[in-house]
Protein backbone atom coordinates (compact mmCIF):
# COMPACT_ATOMS: atom_id res chain seq x y z
CA UNK A 1 0.00 0.00 0.00
CA UNK A 2 1.22 3.48 -0.83
CA UNK A 3 0.18 6.37 1.35
CA UNK A 4 1.55 9.68 2.61
CA UNK A 5 3.62 9.28 5.78
CA UNK A 6 5.08 12.75 6.26
CA UNK A 7 2.82 14.70 8.68
CA UNK A 8 3.49 18.04 7.00
CA UNK A 9 2.65 16.57 3.60
CA UNK A 10 -0.56 15.07 5.01
CA UNK A 11 -1.68 18.45 6.33
CA UNK A 12 -0.64 20.23 3.14
CA UNK A 13 -2.63 17.81 1.01
CA UNK A 14 -5.59 18.03 3.39
CA UNK A 15 -5.72 21.80 2.99
CA UNK A 16 -5.52 21.45 -0.78
CA UNK A 17 -8.41 18.99 -0.72
CA UNK A 18 -10.46 21.29 1.50
CA UNK A 19 -10.08 24.12 -1.01
CA UNK A 20 -10.93 21.78 -3.89
CA UNK A 21 -14.11 20.67 -2.13
CA UNK A 22 -15.07 24.28 -1.32
CA UNK A 23 -14.62 25.16 -4.99
CA UNK A 24 -16.86 22.22 -5.89
CA UNK A 25 -19.68 22.61 -3.36
CA UNK A 26 -19.57 26.39 -2.90
CA UNK A 27 -18.25 27.93 -6.13
CA UNK A 28 -17.51 31.59 -5.64
CA UNK A 29 -17.31 31.33 -1.85
CA UNK A 30 -15.07 34.08 -0.48
CA UNK A 31 -13.47 34.35 2.94
CA UNK A 32 -13.49 37.77 4.58
CA UNK A 33 -9.76 37.73 5.13
CA UNK A 34 -6.62 35.61 5.28
CA UNK A 35 -6.83 34.85 9.01
CA UNK A 36 -10.53 33.98 8.83
CA UNK A 37 -9.68 31.59 6.00
CA UNK A 38 -7.02 29.91 8.11
CA UNK A 39 -9.38 29.59 11.08
CA UNK A 40 -12.29 28.16 9.12
CA UNK A 41 -10.13 25.79 7.09
CA UNK A 42 -8.51 24.47 10.27
CA UNK A 43 -11.97 23.94 11.75
CA UNK A 44 -12.93 21.95 8.67
CA UNK A 45 -9.60 20.10 8.78
CA UNK A 46 -10.31 19.09 12.40
CA UNK A 47 -13.95 18.09 11.92
CA UNK A 48 -14.31 17.23 8.20
CA UNK A 49 -17.47 19.35 8.40
CA UNK A 50 -17.94 22.00 5.72
CA UNK A 51 -20.87 23.54 7.55
CA UNK A 52 -18.28 25.67 9.37
CA UNK A 53 -18.14 27.79 6.23
CA UNK A 54 -21.47 29.17 7.43
CA UNK A 55 -21.76 28.58 11.16
CA UNK A 56 -18.39 29.86 12.39
CA UNK A 57 -18.79 33.52 13.30
CA UNK A 58 -15.94 35.87 14.20
CA UNK A 59 -16.67 39.27 15.72
CA UNK A 60 -14.96 42.31 14.27
CA UNK A 61 -12.23 42.77 16.88
CA UNK A 62 -11.84 39.15 18.03
CA UNK A 63 -8.74 38.13 16.08
CA UNK A 64 -6.98 41.44 16.73
CA UNK A 65 -7.71 41.15 20.46
CA UNK A 66 -6.61 37.53 20.60
CA UNK A 67 -3.30 38.23 18.86
CA UNK A 68 -2.61 41.27 21.04
CA UNK A 69 -3.37 39.29 24.20
CA UNK A 70 -1.19 36.38 23.09
CA UNK A 71 1.67 38.77 22.38
CA UNK A 72 1.31 40.18 25.89
CA UNK A 73 1.48 37.11 28.10
CA UNK A 74 -2.22 36.35 28.41
CA UNK A 75 -3.45 33.20 30.12
CA UNK A 76 -5.74 30.83 28.25
CA UNK A 77 -8.45 29.21 30.38
CA UNK A 78 -10.15 26.15 28.90
CA UNK A 79 -13.22 24.29 30.13
CA UNK A 80 -11.78 20.84 29.42
CA UNK A 81 -8.40 19.15 29.59
CA UNK A 82 -9.15 17.85 26.09
CA UNK A 83 -9.16 21.39 24.69
CA UNK A 84 -6.03 22.19 26.65
CA UNK A 85 -4.24 19.10 25.35
CA UNK A 86 -5.00 20.04 21.74
CA UNK A 87 -3.51 23.53 21.88
CA UNK A 88 0.05 24.01 20.65
CA UNK A 89 1.84 24.66 23.93
CA UNK A 90 5.27 25.16 22.37
CA UNK A 91 3.89 28.20 20.56
CA UNK A 92 2.31 29.49 23.76
CA UNK A 93 5.52 28.90 25.72
CA UNK A 94 7.48 30.84 23.11
CA UNK A 95 5.08 33.75 23.57
CA UNK A 96 5.30 33.62 27.36
CA UNK A 97 1.64 32.70 27.73
CA UNK A 98 0.16 30.43 30.37
CA UNK A 99 -2.63 27.91 29.82
CA UNK A 100 -4.87 26.31 32.42
CA UNK A 101 -7.89 24.10 32.89
CA UNK A 102 -9.16 24.63 36.42
CA UNK A 103 -12.21 22.36 36.22
CA UNK A 104 -10.59 19.31 37.87
CA UNK A 105 -8.84 21.28 40.63
CA UNK A 106 -9.82 20.57 44.23
CA UNK A 107 -10.40 24.29 44.84
CA UNK A 108 -12.89 24.28 41.98
CA UNK A 109 -14.74 21.25 43.34
CA UNK A 110 -15.06 22.85 46.78
CA UNK A 111 -16.29 26.16 45.36
CA UNK A 112 -18.79 24.43 43.06
CA UNK A 113 -20.25 22.59 46.05
CA UNK A 114 -20.44 25.79 48.08
CA UNK A 115 -22.11 27.70 45.23
CA UNK A 116 -24.35 24.83 44.12
CA UNK A 117 -23.18 25.25 40.53
CA UNK A 118 -21.20 23.29 37.95
CA UNK A 119 -17.44 22.96 38.23
CA UNK A 120 -17.17 24.80 34.93
CA UNK A 121 -18.88 27.83 36.47
CA UNK A 122 -16.73 27.65 39.60
CA UNK A 123 -13.62 27.51 37.39
CA UNK A 124 -14.63 30.82 35.80
CA UNK A 125 -15.04 32.35 39.28
CA UNK A 126 -11.54 31.22 40.19
CA UNK A 127 -10.06 32.40 36.88
CA UNK A 128 -11.57 35.84 37.49
CA UNK A 129 -9.47 36.13 40.67
CA UNK A 130 -6.23 35.47 38.82
CA UNK A 131 -4.08 38.39 37.63
CA UNK A 132 -3.23 39.15 34.02
CA UNK A 133 -4.98 39.20 30.69
CA UNK A 134 -7.39 36.37 29.97
CA UNK A 135 -8.70 34.40 27.02
CA UNK A 136 -11.48 31.89 27.57
CA UNK A 137 -11.57 28.85 25.30
CA UNK A 138 -14.82 26.96 25.87
CA UNK A 139 -15.76 23.93 23.81
CA UNK A 140 -17.89 21.91 26.16
CA UNK A 141 -19.74 23.79 28.90
CA UNK A 142 -22.52 26.26 28.10
CA UNK A 143 -22.69 27.03 31.83
CA UNK A 144 -19.12 28.30 31.71
CA UNK A 145 -19.96 30.53 28.77
CA UNK A 146 -23.01 31.93 30.55
CA UNK A 147 -20.88 32.52 33.67
CA UNK A 148 -18.22 34.42 31.70
CA UNK A 149 -20.89 36.68 30.21
CA UNK A 150 -22.56 37.27 33.59
CA UNK A 151 -19.31 38.15 35.34
CA UNK A 152 -18.18 40.49 32.57
CA UNK A 153 -21.59 42.17 32.64
CA UNK A 154 -21.31 42.58 36.42
CA UNK A 155 -17.82 44.07 36.12
CA UNK A 156 -16.25 41.14 38.00
CA UNK A 157 -14.23 39.78 35.09
CA UNK A 158 -12.23 41.14 32.17
CA UNK A 159 -11.46 39.03 29.12
CA UNK A 160 -9.72 39.97 25.90
CA UNK A 161 -11.84 37.50 23.93
CA UNK A 162 -13.95 34.37 24.23
CA UNK A 163 -13.77 31.38 21.93
CA UNK A 164 -17.22 29.98 22.66
CA UNK A 165 -17.96 26.77 20.82
CA UNK A 166 -19.70 24.45 23.31
CA UNK A 167 -21.18 21.36 21.70
CA UNK A 168 -24.43 19.68 22.67
CA UNK A 169 -28.09 20.20 23.31
CA UNK A 170 -28.93 21.83 26.65
CA UNK A 171 -27.91 25.46 26.39
CA UNK A 172 -25.20 25.01 23.77
CA UNK A 173 -26.83 26.89 20.88
CA UNK A 174 -28.53 29.36 23.21
CA UNK A 175 -25.35 30.33 25.08
CA UNK A 176 -23.59 31.10 21.81
CA UNK A 177 -26.56 33.14 20.60
CA UNK A 178 -26.33 35.19 23.79
CA UNK A 179 -22.58 35.74 23.37
CA UNK A 180 -23.21 36.99 19.84
CA UNK A 181 -25.45 39.73 21.28
CA UNK A 182 -22.75 41.09 23.60
CA UNK A 183 -19.84 43.45 23.02
CA UNK A 184 -17.37 40.74 24.06
CA UNK A 185 -14.96 39.88 21.23
CA UNK A 186 -15.91 36.33 20.24
CA UNK A 187 -15.49 33.39 17.93
CA UNK A 188 -18.53 31.10 18.01
CA UNK A 189 -20.06 28.17 16.17
CA UNK A 190 -23.76 28.72 15.65
CA UNK A 191 -26.11 25.92 16.64
CA UNK A 192 -25.34 22.66 18.42
CA UNK A 193 -21.99 21.91 16.79
CA UNK A 194 -18.64 22.65 18.40
CA UNK A 195 -16.44 20.83 20.88
CA UNK A 196 -13.07 20.80 22.60
CA UNK A 197 -11.28 19.74 19.41
CA UNK A 198 -12.80 22.69 17.56
CA UNK A 199 -11.87 25.11 20.34
CA UNK A 200 -8.25 23.95 20.22
CA UNK A 201 -8.19 24.14 16.43
CA UNK A 202 -9.29 27.78 16.50
CA UNK A 203 -6.54 28.70 18.98
CA UNK A 204 -3.95 26.87 16.88
CA UNK A 205 -5.08 28.57 13.67
CA UNK A 206 -4.49 31.94 15.30
CA UNK A 207 -1.14 30.87 16.74
CA UNK A 208 0.01 29.60 13.33
CA UNK A 209 -1.03 32.85 11.70
CA UNK A 210 1.12 34.94 14.03
Positions marked catalytic = 45
Cα separation, 159 vs 192, in Å, equals 24
Distance CA 172, CA 140 (A): 8
Q: What single string gives the DSSP state of each residue in 71-103?
A: HTT-EEEES-HHHHHHS-HHHHHHHT-EEEE-T
List the Cα angle 165/169/170 in 5-degree steps: 100
Burial class, 34, CB count within 10 angstroms (exposed 0-12 / middle 13-18 / buried 19+) = exposed
Angstrom distance (rounded) from CA 207 to CA 136: 15
- Separation in Å, CA 65 to CA 33, 58, 148, 187: 16, 12, 17, 11
Amino acid sequence: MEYIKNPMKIEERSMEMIQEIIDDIRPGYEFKGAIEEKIIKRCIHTTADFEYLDILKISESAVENLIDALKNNATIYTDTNMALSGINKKRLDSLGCEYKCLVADEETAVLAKEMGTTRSMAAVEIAARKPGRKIFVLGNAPTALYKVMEMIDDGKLEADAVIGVPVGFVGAAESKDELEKTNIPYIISKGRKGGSNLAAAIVNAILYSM
